[in-house]
Amino acid sequence: MNFFKTFLASCLGSLVALVVLVVLLVSGMSALVSSFSDSERMTTVSENSVLHLKLNGNITEVETDNPLEGLPIPGADEVNTGLLPLKQTIAHAKMDQAIKGIYLEVSQFQGGYAVAKEIRESLIDFKSSGKWIIAYSEAYSEPSYYLASTADKVYLHPEGEIEFNGLAVEISFFKKMFDKLEIKPEIFRVGEFKSAVEPFFLDKMSDANRLQMKEWINSVHQTSLHDVAESRKINEVDLKNISDKMLITDAREAVKYHLVDSLFYIDQVQAEMRSKLGLAKNAKISLVKYKKYKRSFSNASTSKNEIAVIVADGEIMPGRATEGTIGSDTFAEELRKARTNEKVKAIVLRINSPGGSALASDVMWREVTLASKAKPIIASMSNYAASGGYYIAMGCDSIVAEPNTVTGSIGVFSVLFDLSSFLDKKIGITFDEAKTGEVGNITSFTRPLTELEKTIWQKKTNKIYEGFTGKAAKGRRMPVEKLLKIASGRVWTGAQAKENGLVDVLGGFNDAVAIAARKAGVEKDYKLRFYPQQKTFFAQWLQDMEDNTRTKFLRQELGDHYDTYLQVKKLKNYSGVQARLPFEVQWK
């Protein structure tokens, strides 16, 4: 009897679940059809409107629209903002008579300082039309305030906070973990500043790395202070003192030191906007969100002259591109198409990369040099264009970087991991090898390298560094001896790189496009087209769902060892010769 009760209860539960699933599916499909219909219609913007920019999410180079946004299903709330579409939208709002101002909400900006500077320049250009910007937040992080400081009025919640105490970077070191696991890294590098491998054999920064890190963040901070001082009309020396001593610890002190204009609640901010718009008390403010406003206009052009924008965003890897990586085969294919396409009059490489595989970087460099012989090709550097990221830029006619772009790091390293002791003592697996000569499997992780094999690896690394520096010197049209003095893996900001000849122009994406158009002779008649084409939202969504499912099972299976698994997995990307930024940082 109990069996039948249980069986019937299970059937009833399954039936209810099925009905709920069908209802959700039907409502979801209905909303999705409506979403597609909305996306196909041009948004109509009413007169006396305000563009609402909420920049707290992920900022990427390009963006993928999310037609599932707002639906009660996984992935529906994952929305990213593309830097380049955002800049185009702000530029259009500047000329749109319906838009009277911008309401800027930014508390935890995640785009990096070079991207923040690009957005700042767009906001400042917007204000040049005579329109206004109001910024409001319950709390401002340091990079968030850097953006908000462009506003005519910066408001903060009366009990809010503002972080304004300078910059710090934090590097993770794994030596003690390797010691516990009995994993021995075999490291070969060229350049005293090429410190990407230091976390594997040190437990703190080397003197050389500490020097370059301090000079780097000081340069980024100086740019930030200069820009904020100019926007807020504060003496730069006084502003540095405020930052160095962290004189602002609460909202009232933010007003005292003129970083914030007033402490307002949201209703007071709305009242201020109504006043600027000439609206009556309690009248509805026409706020137009970025995603919606973006559909109110089209950048389509009938021009037959095309400037191809090839976006290189992520780590550099051989083969086809995947999410978060620059695949050398994909990049080379897109560049080859642009080079041979007669409609393409110039090329802009938009680079946001810390580097990666030295071989993949060289494959892409070759295509850049071939393209430069056929038509103008300009590099536009985003947050990072370092090591392998600089490798693919150095063959361009001109290199444009923001003052706080991270670049340079001209150096290489090779790293292998000897897991023999870990496998033997921790797991109980041993290996043996038979070979025909003195050198066996030179990439083996099951035994230590012999002295001869170590010599071979160092020789290979030296040879690649020689090629890297030689090509960099040729691309920058300077003697190799001079190039070597600024190489050695040393990291530079864009401002420093401009001084030492690694960068031609300080500026953003728009500057790079203008240079490309001028060199191609199409200043007044061109259109932009971005490559490679982004995955459709659904293709990316399905991939993310698959990845999330795999991650969930791995977490369940590995438990507390999951984080260790991620670190070991990441080490695979460091195998072989690398042209990679010498650190991974978290802004603090």
d(CA 447, CA 432): 9
Q: How many residues does the chain have?
A: 588
573 Cβ partners below 8 Å, 6+ apart? 315, 317, 356
For residue 388, which phi and psi values (nearest 5 degrees)? -60, -30
CB 108 within 8 A of CB 141: yes
- Out of 87, 184, 194, 294, the active site residue is 194
Q: Are strands 58-60 and 80-82 parallel, antiparallel or unpaired?
A: parallel
As a dihedral over the C-alpha atoms of residue 366, residue 369, residue 375, residue 378, rounded to 10 degrees, the angle is 100
Nearest to 387 by CA among 347, 357, 350: 357
387 is catalytic: yes
Nearest to 199 by CA among 417, 440, 448, 456: 417
CB 432 within 8 A of CB 444: no
**And the tokens for 26?**
């039907």
d(CA 63, CA 43): 19
- Out of 219, 353, 387, 420, the active site residue is 387
CB 72 within 8 A of CB 27: no
Cα dist. 375→473, 477, 519, 522 in Å? 21, 19, 9, 12
283 Cβ partners below 8 Å, 6+ apart? 274
194 is catalytic: yes
First to last CA, the chain: 64
d(CA 377, CA 387): 19
As a dihedral over the C-alpha atoms of residue 317, residue 405, residue 408, residue 414, rounded to 10 degrees, the angle is -40
Mind telling me the catalytic residues? 194, 387
